[in-house]
Amino acid sequence: MGIRRLTLASLGAGLAAGMAASAAFAKELEGLPTDKAIHLQKGFSELKHDAVSFHDLILMPVITVITLLVLGLLIWIVVRYNKRTNPVAAKFSHNTAIEVAWTLIPVVILVVIAFFSFALLRKYNDMPTPDVVVKATGYQWYWAYDYPELGVEGVESRLLPEARDLKTAHAAKVPYLLGVDNELIVPVGKVVQVQVTGYDVIHAFALPAFGLKTDAVPGRLNSTWFRAEKTGIFYGQCSELCGVDHAFMPIAIRVVTPEQFDAYIVKAGGKTKAMLATEAAAARIEAEKAAADAAAASSATAASATADAPAGEAAVSAAAPAVQ
């Protein structure tokens, strides 16, 4: 799991304690939100690792330093400049040096954040060549998955009825509000491109373990990608308020081995990449043979037609003015 189960009291102990807690509480529950967890969900894709690093190494230190600075200043003002310790208030209204400083320092901080932020955005945007393309369509209130290249369409994924209620979910051992009937099946270690769209209103395809969050907008195809580092089931949820059952349209991705993925595709009535490649090769041989036959036939025709050539030319020149 690796999610830091920090209590508020232990927060003060700082980042080091957080790291220790993270290791200590790591157990088999992965790809799920966890009770009392405070940190981001553990990542299982490169994009998520980068997003977590950006959060932990850039954003958190900046936030912490600014918060402590402001807190320190507040305490200093309260203690040093209250009515008792400072009965005569100062009368000056501004200080140019300090105003320049409190304008420029935030600008520098924002530029530093932007630098790392854009690097991460770029990584999301520069997708490697996908091994598998999946189309995820948001409906009120479920998801449907297609594998457009492999000929599998309309796999509907709905919340399990027993997952709707905490008690029945626990009894059935399915994750509360997350368990679905048909998970999105993808192979481990492969680049999966997810094309995201909406059928009726705007939804959002979000899954923390892979760092995914992409709007599903009707009439528009957004895309995102991930490469799952391990097999297992990972959960996310629709993340754009989309109506009364918004909370009941989870996203579940089951990561399997490439062999299991191929078997799933075949079972679902599609064709694997290998099957398509074999078919394409056969079609190419067929086409080459047809072209060779046609060439042989046309050379034979040409030989027999040589005698008629002057008549043919006359016909072409007679037809030419009509074309203009």
The residue ranges that bind Cu ion (CB under 5 A) are 203, 238, 242, 249
| Residue closer to Cu ion, measured from CB, 124 or 199 | 199
Q: Which is nearer to Cu ion, 43 or 208 (CB)?
A: 208
Report helix, strand and coil shares of the chain as percent, to nearest 5.
50, 20, 30
Contact status, residue 48 vs residue 209, Cβ threshold 8 Å: yes
Return phi, psi of residue 65, to 5°: -60, -45
Residues 6+ positions from 217 with CB-CB distance below 8 Å: 197, 198, 202
Smallest distance from Cu ion to CB 168, Å: 23
Query: How far apart (Å, rounded) are the C-alpha atoms in residues 51 and 57?
Result: 10
Which of 57, 25, 54 minimizes the C-alpha distance to 38? Answer: 25
Q: Strand pairing partners for 306?
A: none
Shortest reach from residue 240's CB to Cu ion, in Å: 6
DSSP class of residue 229 equals S
Q: Between 49 and 246, whose beta carbon lies closer to Cu ion?
A: 246
CB of 110 to Cu ion, least distance (A): 33
1 in helix, strand or coil? coil
Gap between the Cα atoms of 169 and 189, Å rounded: 31
**Quick one: 242 or 255, whose CB is closer to Cu ion?**
242
In the complex, what is the shortest distance from the CB of residue 236 to Cu ion, in angstroms, rounded to a whole number?
11
CB closer to Cu ion, 27 vs 220: 220
Host H or E run for residue 205:
strand 203-207
Closest CB 34 distance from Cu ion, rounded Å: 23
Whether the Cβ atoms of residue 152 and residue 255 lie closer than 8 Å to each other:
no
Amino acid at position 96, single letter: T
> Which of 37, 159 has the CB closer to Cu ion?
159
Shortest distance (Å) from residue 159 CB to Cu ion: 12
Measured from the CB atom, the residue of 51 and 136 that comes closer to Cu ion is 136
Question: How far does CA 237 lie from the centroid of its chain?
Answer: 12
Distance CA 5, CA 31 (A): 15
For Cu ion, the closer CB: 155 or 238:
238
Give min distance, CB of 216 to Cu ion, in A. 7
Provide the minimum distance between the beta carbon of 177 and Cu ion in the complex, in angstroms, as a whole number: 13
Tokens of 101: 């400083």
The two beta strands, 212-216 and 203-207, are: antiparallel
3-state secondary structure of 181: coil
